[in-house]
Amino acid sequence: MSFQYIILNQDLSIKSDHSKSLSDAARPNCAVIGIWGLSEAANLSYLGLYAMQHRGQEAAGIVSSDGQTLYRHADSGLVADVFRDRCVFDNLPGNAALGHNRYSTTGSSSTPNVQPLLVEDRAGPIALAHNGNLVNYSDLRRFLVEEGSLFRTSTDSELFLHLFARSRAKSLINRLIEALHIVKGAYSLIILTRDSLIAVRDPLAFRPLSLGAKDDGWVVASETCAFDLLGAKYVRDVQPGEMVVFNDNRLESHQFAESKRTAHCIFEYIYFSRPDSRIFGVMVDKTRRRLGHILAERHPNPPDADFVIAVPDSSNTAGLGYAHQSGLPFEIALIRNHYIGRTFIEPEQRMRDFGAKVKFNPVAGVLRGRRVVLVDDSIVRGTTLRKLVRLIRGAGAEKVYVRISSPPIKNPCFYGMDFPTREELAADQHSIDEIRAYIEADDLEYLTPEELLEAVPHSSGQDYCTACFTGIYPVAVNNE
Amino acid sequence: MSFQYIILNQDLSIKSDHSKSLSDAARPNCAVIGIWGLSEAANLSYLGLYAMQHRGQEAAGIVSSDGQTLYRHADSGLVADVFRDRCVFDNLPGNAALGHNRYSTTGSSSTPNVQPLLVEDRAGPIALAHNGNLVNYSDLRRFLVEEGSLFRTSTDSELFLHLFARSRAKSLINRLIEALHIVKGAYSLIILTRDSLIAVRDPLAFRPLSLGAKDDGWVVASETCAFDLLGAKYVRDVQPGEMVVFNDNRLESHQFAESKRTAHCIFEYIYFSRPDSRIFGVMVDKTRRRLGHILAERHPNPPDADFVIAVPDSSNTAGLGYAHQSGLPFEIALIRNHYIGRTFIEPEQRMRDFGAKVKFNPVAGVLRGRRVVLVDDSIVRGTTLRKLVRLIRGAGAEKVYVRISSPPIKNPCFYGMDFPTREELAADQHSIDEIRAYIEADDLEYLTPEELLEAVPHSSGQDYCTACFTGIYPVAVNNE
Amino acid sequence: MSFQYIILNQDLSIKSDHSKSLSDAARPNCAVIGIWGLSEAANLSYLGLYAMQHRGQEAAGIVSSDGQTLYRHADSGLVADVFRDRCVFDNLPGNAALGHNRYSTTGSSSTPNVQPLLVEDRAGPIALAHNGNLVNYSDLRRFLVEEGSLFRTSTDSELFLHLFARSRAKSLINRLIEALHIVKGAYSLIILTRDSLIAVRDPLAFRPLSLGAKDDGWVVASETCAFDLLGAKYVRDVQPGEMVVFNDNRLESHQFAESKRTAHCIFEYIYFSRPDSRIFGVMVDKTRRRLGHILAERHPNPPDADFVIAVPDSSNTAGLGYAHQSGLPFEIALIRNHYIGRTFIEPEQRMRDFGAKVKFNPVAGVLRGRRVVLVDDSIVRGTTLRKLVRLIRGAGAEKVYVRISSPPIKNPCFYGMDFPTREELAADQHSIDEIRAYIEADDLEYLTPEELLEAVPHSSGQDYCTACFTGIYPVAVNNE
Amino acid sequence: MSFQYIILNQDLSIKSDHSKSLSDAARPNCAVIGIWGLSEAANLSYLGLYAMQHRGQEAAGIVSSDGQTLYRHADSGLVADVFRDRCVFDNLPGNAALGHNRYSTTGSSSTPNVQPLLVEDRAGPIALAHNGNLVNYSDLRRFLVEEGSLFRTSTDSELFLHLFARSRAKSLINRLIEALHIVKGAYSLIILTRDSLIAVRDPLAFRPLSLGAKDDGWVVASETCAFDLLGAKYVRDVQPGEMVVFNDNRLESHQFAESKRTAHCIFEYIYFSRPDSRIFGVMVDKTRRRLGHILAERHPNPPDADFVIAVPDSSNTAGLGYAHQSGLPFEIALIRNHYIGRTFIEPEQRMRDFGAKVKFNPVAGVLRGRRVVLVDDSIVRGTTLRKLVRLIRGAGAEKVYVRISSPPIKNPCFYGMDFPTREELAADQHSIDEIRAYIEADDLEYLTPEELLEAVPHSSGQDYCTACFTGIYPVAVNNE
């Protein structure tokens, strides 16, 4: 397949190329939320999406159900912008709802791609929200197109709907299970029909998905920080290969696939999830502190460092862990500008290192003449960190020792993390010392994969996907 | 099937009910235009749509092709509003294009329904614009949904795409022919792919579709008035059951279905087409004049009438025909307000007869103390004409003799004309005299179906659909 | 004064040049309406503006008063578009209101210019709507700017407010009278305060302004066609130099200036007003018919003409008058496309005569081989008529005899009609025969100024401004 | 004066009441920026506004000058949203520009109020941006309205323009100085004309305003953090009572008023300015650290506290200062959600303490069973802090000891800080212990005004406005 088409909306001119690489076809790291049996369900979904805004800033949408009809509002933009008008919620009635945040990347943010998807099935209207990435998307899409299915989006999430629609099984649940047996990859899925809410997690449980209780109703969400805002209580995670069906006031659990081990995305702990969420059984904050702790414990501390600083906000916790273990003071020397708005237009080409400056401003009074340990969570391309090191040095720092609370990223992700192609990864062809030289640090230490795994919980059968560090992919990927 | 769903856009809150009556499922009387082999093709489509704005004011859209990619811009509103920004055309490049005007009725004007439809087929992107109405839409849709097709619109036009996508035939043309053999009803269809433009007319040729030439390229349009604005020359009509394929610089004709007789919609002559268009072989203006002529010739003229007036602008030509034949002067006594904008909001409930006053204002100086013959093209519900007669009388007219240049409408249309249900038609249960009493006219004469047929051209095999007058439906309708 | 500034709105990029010629500074031919003592006053204003949409299509606005607060909604666009949302009227409460339609010309349609103007005066909020043009605008503006007044618009209408604000007189009425004694030119003015509605007409009564009654309330409007739609009854015209003040349930009349004669704009009869309006004491339709009548009576009729056609819709009535007097049949041979929308984008440069084709399509069946008399109301530049004659001839007409129901326009208007500069007027340097040659007519006849004056009413003291024909300006103009 | 009016825009329905209290009339804490002699000046203004977004999130605007014409773009929203479209900058040409961020508060965000204001003066177009608040606004406005000035906004910033326009002085500079001698209060002002940029600071220098150099041009900005992003170098502050005029390539300084002492707003150090800015002679970060330091040094430390946490991000630096001095570890236990978008809609009324939860989520793993010192910068009403203490306790903290890095706020601000009325201030009628009880803290300590003054720099003549703490107002306020 090598064609493409362009959809022009009034405000939107977007080119969606269905023939690109797999990791481009889907925008993986999103947030999903489902509400069942609670009044003002759309409102609660909105709050949950707001709490999980860090998982996707490109677009947001909610579908609600009043038992007869499904209602939808969705658009590109931040949650608070998409649902700016109070009256929107008047048009989203009912005690059940489904919400989705879409991850912000360049390109394919065309309106049709905004989730939740809402279609008419022969059993009635059905809405779906998906976090994850399917590895057999291209093959399945090609097959279905050949069979006469008409696709309306360029997301892999639509696959579920077509497979579901084509299943010859009798019940809605069985049709869904048939569809799930065909797709391969990572999916935390929530589905809303007129009379049920269904939460599904792939057999390897790549992405988080948790179950909470509030009053007499239920909440399902990508991260537990949504429960806190809603006043819901964490009950348990949706299990690997489990489908939880809420129906009237019953909760049914179906184990649609066997799961011997998990392949939790360890990057959720390193960077993606919020520190105040509990995922894969443990608080993210606690794990992230341990990463900083082990980094300070196992790797040489710069003997002359004055203090530790972190790249705000994502590396703050690991930075604190490092500071506590190393005995160095923790300082705040980078001021982050949080007012990003929908898009930021970069001016004059010749202004170098502009990207980093827009986000971060170093505090010269803290840095001048000092030797600092800079803790960051990861290095992808290295370009941003290089700019940051320059900014810090430009503000007068004498030494910049960089510590990374994860191992070198050497491989692309096919399960949902938005990494670039292998060639663009700093650690692909370069040694740690070459990277150090590139980012112009005085010193550079990473965690090893072993140390990383030491920091995370390991209950029975619980394992992690570390493919981006190790190249060991838990689900075979036949096209790159 | 009895469910429904609601799609909320930012500006739009629309309820689309797929289970309603057949005539509601599709908005029939639209305009289509196709351009092949002409630079600035989108621009030319725009002009053509503008010339055919009377066929549909609800929404407008254009898809263009540069041989590789299909580009689309569409929205609800008048053509001049949807394409207000000059830059829109920069984003619609190429020498081939397809345009569509959508008829304005209440209800289902949701954005997804706006044509041309653009989808990804296994042979590449394909766009479609449709004027007409399919009678086996509900059955086919139910069948396809059962088979696993996901519908994105509530229009019957989408059927073509699903049938086409599911065909197992080898070539694109054969797949299209397979699809056409399944649908039943009225369709003037234009399809655009990367390398061809295809014009299709149903075997009974319900709706007009003409072929024009301009420079080295081609134009296909619902009405020839579009050719005049484009500077294209009328060549011939697309034939009943014919598929014309433009491909490189060749024009291929396929007779995909036998056609023994036509069933031209006679209402196109009576009211719908523009008087300066040539359809079904004759200028509309000429036919409409003959209707007025026969009406004056065969029906008693009021002995004391002072002059003839017509309901502007649609009945002007028939009015002139009546005046010339009867020997009465032609007068202008109703001033029409043409500045309608997108929607007109009616105020205060208690203001009676408001609808007619907004459109028409009688000229008292002309009407006071006079006896007038009022020519109108048709009576559907009778409510508007009743208001008009009151307005005229209120302006001082002593007598209002009404003459209708078509027969009483007694039956709904299933092939595209937007009539109400049978029960709402004035002539359903009521005699002509009862209608006369209802509209408060001093006198009322209609054309008979026979007189009507006398006024229209009859070349070999050429016949008309007069179902709305006679109840004889040329294509069986199995659901009402 | 030679500077300029540019105001950029989100949608609007407009350059307003305050230094241009006087006739450019103001957009004269607008419509105004005032409602007093009627519930849903804003709604009624809206209807009135809709009826008078022909007087201005660029922008529309309404200010209402509930006795305490003044509320405003205004924007560029047609009335029906600006007031599309029903809820707008919920935000325009009260029993008094003021509305304005702005004439559509190129250029200065920036939002701040949209009327009614609403400002805070020391006596409370005050809103103003103006139809007309002041001849001492530039001088007064320069003077006021020197004195420290800050102008917010580039309209002459703002002058009234500044003069009013600066008056030292005690009462609001006296301040207003002081202001009126300073301005010179044409103005039909309506002013709304918290507790009164004030209607003013300049001493020469250039523009129409009529008083109507509805229930227990009052309506003031530029044209009486607004009364018809509202169901109001025409009472009388606001008199030259009169100020009518509505206050509680009283109506007070102040004669603020002596008026020995009027200078009614005769062009209102020829072209601008709607035929169903009564202005300057007589129905427009009646006068316009007389113009056609005299034109046929006093000027040679083409001996071989087959019939009469008119340029729709503005010349229809004069065309009928001509036909009746000459004994020739009246025909409809030009179909007008009324779906203009907000703007029409012209395509390809090389398409000649495009402007006329977009508006008019000739009916070949009527014109082929015929000799026609074409009646038009006036010739300004001659370019449009030239295109029209070509279109008619292109449709097969053998002869095109042109008849103009007014004299040659030789001079610009400084009182509100939107004519171009003298140099651009066809009749400035050219004889009638040269114009005939230019428009490619077989024959051309105009009315003479004397014949024109014969057609209009002449009660005592009633006279007309015919400056555009005769060069005799009733109010001295010191800058051109 | 007790009237009001309402301006309705299409999107906007706003009630601006000119008669309200003084502190309401103006939205004080804004950001201003001026660029002189640098290419892409509008772009640079945009960047500067972006860096100073924390000073105003309600609206943003830029006016540029190319030496002949002034161009403007402004709207409500965040900087990045208002200038979302790249093409906006194409319409803001020239080497000089002026920008303004408007503070976000409820109510009067009507479009006319958005700065920079742009008007036509007799010397040409002139634009103005203002940060501060005038205390004699109401009197002056009343006076000017009496004199015949027409106001277009409800901001005190417009006063400058009217006074300027009315001055009889000869030169533009002298007219401006005349105007400045009339107004009283706080103003950091930047003015742009066709050929000059003028920066002005009131004689008491309430608000910051700094001068920077970049290449051959100049930058003036409220805070130096804007210089860092632009790559400009800090030169000096605009002096109290100084007017700096940039003209061709010269910089002229005028001391328009004597200044014996300053009255720098000490709240800029406590909360408002960014930590990476240098204001009033010292880095904000350094001063804020000293506040925390002194707080820990002079006030009893809780003997059993486990660690220090701060309310992010504004109290982080003071919290670090406290931690370092007290010897307690610094912890991060509140996760802040920065994705606020334009507005946040609060749901269900009955959800208590919702406001704080939306912004902050406590990390239970850090807080459970611990005794924490919570550092916040100030207490205004106390409601937010009360919610925060509850959240922290709800997450399991055993003790919450609150430390405020400023004294109790007892008085409203008339110079620009957006405090509520006296009655709403927690410290108005209540003792510190009563406040402690209200916010449900185990312990509460404030800085004293003396300690506060100890932390800030005191060069010769440098003094501070501490009216909100002490009630001593440096400029008399005659209306409250």
pLDDT tens digits, A339-386 = 754 444 444 434 445 667 788 999 988 999 999 999 999 999 999 899
- Phi and psi torsions of A359, nearest 5°: -90, -40
From D103, D109, D98, D45, select the one nearest D76 (Cα to Cα): D109
Which domains are assigned to chain C?
17-260 (3.60.20.10), 279-464 (3.40.50.2020)
Which pLDDT band holds residue D52 (cuts at 50, 70, 90)?
A: very high
- What share of chain B has pLDDT > 90, as a percent? 73
Nearest to C16 by CA among C2, C27, C5: C5
- Minimal Cβ distance to C146: which of D6, D8, D122: D122
Tell me, what's the pLDDT at C27? 42
Closest partner residue to B84 (CB to CB) among C54, C316, C342 is C342
Query: Does residue B270 contact residue B447 with C-beta atoms inside 8 Å?
Result: no
- Which of B460-474, C195-209, D140-154 shows the lowest mean pLDDT across its residues? D140-154
Decide if A361 and D337 are in contact by the 8 Å CB cutoff: no
Say what angle helices C157-166 and C172-182 make with each other, to 10 degrees.
130
The pLDDT mean for chain C works out to 87
- Higher pLDDT pick, B13 / D235: D235
Give the position of tokens 């489509």: B45
Of all residues in chain C, the one with the smallest CA distance to B44 is C347
What pTM, to 2 d.p., does this model score?
0.83
pLDDT at A354: 62
Judged on CB neighbours under 10 Å (0-12, 13-18, 19+), A33 is: buried
What is the token pair recorded at D106?
């409820």
pLDDT at D218: 97
Q: What is the mean pLDDT of residues B136-162?
A: 91
Q: What is the mean pLDDT of residues D446-470?
A: 96
Instruction: Give the C-alpha separation, B74 to C69, whole Å.
Output: 42
Going by C-beta distance under 8 Å and a sequence separation of 6 or more, which residues neighbour residue A15? A4, A6, A107, A108
**Residues of C332-358 as b/e, b for ≥16 C-beta within 10 angstroms?**
bbbbebbbbbbebbebeeebebbebbb
Give the pLDDT band of residue A107 (cuts 50, 70, 90).
Answer: very low
- Round the CA-based radius of gyration of chain D to a whole number and report it: 23
Q: Report chain B residues whose CB lies below 8 A from the CB of A73.
A: 8-10
Closest chain C CA to residue D165:
C148
Query: In sequence order, what are the residues at sequence separation of 6 or more whose Cβ sits closer than 8 angstroms to the Cβ of residue B45?
Result: B33, B34, B35, B62, B64, B97, B98, B99
Average pLDDT, chain A: 87
* pLDDT (0 to 100) of residue A122: 87
Q: Which of B196, B195, B197, B198 is nearest to B187 (CA)?
A: B198
Residue B55: closest C-alpha in chain C: C339
pLDDT of res. B265: 97
Which residue in C5, C146, C151 is closest to D70 by CB distance?
C5
What is the distance between the alpha carbons of residues B463 and B467, in angstroms, rounded to a whole number? 12
The string of DSSP letters for A355-414 reads HHHHHEEE-HHHHTT-EEEEEES--SSSHHHHHHHHHHHHTT-SEEEEEESSPPP-S--S
Q: Is A82 exposed, middle or buried (0-12, 13-18, 19+ CB in 10 A)?
A: buried
Amino acid at A56: G
> A163-181 as b/e, with b when 16 or more CB fall inside 10 Å?
bbbbbeeeebbebbbbbbe
What pLDDT does residue C18 have? 33
Q: How far is CA B146 from the centre of its chain?
A: 32
Instruction: Supply the pLDDT for residue B121.
Output: 87
Calculate the alpha carbon distances from B7 to A162, B56, B144 in Å: 20, 23, 21
Asked if the model's pLDDT at residue D346 lies above 80, the reply is: no
A55-59, B446-450, C181-185, C287-291: range with lowest mean pLDDT: A55-59
Report the largest interatomic distance among the alpha carbons of chain A, rounded to a whole angstrom: 73
Q: How confident is the model at residue C153 (pLDDT cuts 50, 70, 90)?
A: confident
Q: How confident is the model at residue A18 (pLDDT cuts 50, 70, 90)?
A: very low
Tokens linked to A314: 């994502």
pLDDT of residue B354: 62
C82 φ, ψ to 5°?
A: -65, -35
Number of neighbours of residue C19 by Cβ within 10 angstroms: 11
Average pLDDT over residues D345-368: 70
Which tens digits make up the pLDDT trace of A259-307?
A: 899 999 999 999 999 999 999 999 999 999 999 999 999 999 999 999 9
- Phi/psi at C250 (5° precision): -95, 155
Rounded to whole angstroms, the Cα distance separating C436 from C445 reads: 9
CB A403, CB A322: distance < 8 Å: yes
Percent of chain B at pLDDT exceeding 70: 88
Give A373's contacts (C-beta < 8 A, 6+ positions apart): A301, A302, A305, A307, A308, A309, A322, A326, A328, A401, A402, A403
Neighbours of chain C (3+ CB pairs under 8 A): B, D
Q: Which amino acid is at A417?
A: M
What are the C-alpha distances in Å from D337 to residues A203, A311, A344, D353?
32, 16, 19, 16
Look at C6 and D122 and tell me if their CB atoms are within 8 Å. Answer: no
Q: Which range has the worst mean pLDDT, B106-120, D9-23, D280-294?
A: D9-23
Positive or negative, the Cα torsion across B33, B38, B42, B46? negative
* Rg from Cα positions in chain C: 23
- Give the range among B350-359, D29-38, D192-201 with minimum mean pLDDT: B350-359
Q: What is the count of residue pairs from B and C with beta carbons less than 8 Å apart?
A: 152
Mean pLDDT for the stretch of residues A246-260 = 92
Which residue numbers of C have CB closer than 8 Å to D's CBs? 3-10, 13, 18, 68-75, 88, 91-92, 118-122, 124-125, 142, 145-152, 161-162, 165-167, 194
Distance to chain B for A153, nearest Cα, Å: 10
Average pLDDT over residues A443-461: 96
Nearest Cα residue to C200 out of C215, C185, C214: C185
pLDDT tens for B175-203 read: 999 999 999 999 999 999 999 999 999 99
Q: What tokens appear for C3 in the block? A: 């500077």
Optimal mutation site among A12, A83, A276, interface D, most CBs of chain D within 10 A: A276
Please state the rounded mean pLDDT for residues D401-413: 97
Q: At A85, phi and psi to the nearest 5?
A: -85, 125
Q: Are A292 and A320 contacting, i.e. CB atoms less than 8 angstroms apart?
A: yes
* Chain A residues within 8 A of D78 when measuring between CB atoms: 339, 341
Identify the band that residue D25 occupies on the pLDDT scale cut at 50, 70 and 90. very low
Task: Identify the H or E element spanning C384.
Answer: helix C383-394
Task: Name chain C contacts of B338, Cβ cutoff 8 Å.
Answer: 313, 338
To which residue do tokens 């890095």 refer?
D405
CA distance A417 to chain B (A): 27
Nearest C-alpha neighbor of C36 from the set C117, C94, C95, C124: C95
pLDDT of D262-307, one tens digit each? 999 999 999 999 999 999 999 999 999 999 999 999 999 999 999 9
Q: In what order do the strands lie in the sheet with D443-446?
A: D307-310, D371-376, D399-404, D443-446
User: A-chain residues within 8 Å CB-CB of D274?
Assistant: 335, 361
pLDDT digits (tens, 9 = 90+) for D363-405: 988 999 999 999 999 999 999 899 999 999 999 999 999 999 9
**What residue in A sits closest to B170 (Cα-Cα)?**
A146
Chain D residues whose beta carbon lies within 8 Å of the beta carbon of residue A365 = 283, 285-286
Contact C126, C119 (CB under 8 A): yes
- The answer to whether the beta carbons of residues D231 and A351 sit under 8 Å apart is yes
The sign of the CA dihedral D352, D357, D361, D366 is negative
What is the chain D residue with the closest CA to A89? D347
* Across A451-455, B416-420, D127-131, D275-279, least confident range: B416-420
Is a pLDDT exceeding 70 seen at residue C341? no
Task: Output the average pLDDT for chain D.
Answer: 87
**What does the pLDDT read at residue A355?**
67
Q: Is the pLDDT of residue C358 over 90?
A: no
> The tokens 């439809």 sit on which residue?
B117
Asked if the model's pLDDT at residue A108 lies above 80, the reply is: no
The predicted structure's pLDDT at residue D21: 30
Confidence of residue D13 (pLDDT cuts 50, 70, 90): very low
Helix (H, G, I), strand (E, B) or coil at C238: coil
Strands annotated E in B105-207 = 117-121, 124-134, 185-193, 196-201
Joined together, the tokens standing for residue B189 give 């269809």
Interface ipTM: 0.85
Average pLDDT, integer, range B160-184: 95
CB D450 within 8 A of CB D403: no
How large is the average pLDDT for residues C34-52? Answer: 95
Per-residue model confidence as pLDDT tens digits over C242-275: 999 999 878 999 999 998 999 999 999 999 999 9
Q: Is the pLDDT of residue D320 over 80?
A: yes
Confidence bin at B114 (pLDDT 50/70/90): confident
Contact B117, B153 (CB under 8 A): yes
Size of interface A-D (CB pairs under 8 A): 152
d(C-alpha C353, C-alpha C332), whole Å: 21
Neighbours of chain A (3+ CB pairs under 8 A): B, D
Query: What is the nearest CA distance from C428 to chain B, expressed in angstroms?
Result: 32
Cβ atoms of A226 and A48 closer than 8 Å = yes
Query: Which residue type is seen at B246?
Result: F
SS3 label, residue A254: strand
| pLDDT the model gives residue C354 | 62
At A222, which amino acid appears?
Answer: S
Whole-number Cα distances in Å, D350 to A87, D51, D111 = 19, 38, 34
Mutate: best of B337, B349, B350, partner C, most C CBs <10 A: B337
What is the CA angle A25-A29-A30, rounded to 5?
105
Mean pLDDT throughout A396-417?
A: 95
Answer whether residue A92 shows pLDDT above 90: yes
Give the chains touching B; criterion: ≥3 Cβ pairs < 8 Å: A, C
Quick one: pLDDT band at residue D111, thresholds 50, 70, 90? low
Q: Are A464 and A264 in contact (CB under 8 A)?
A: yes
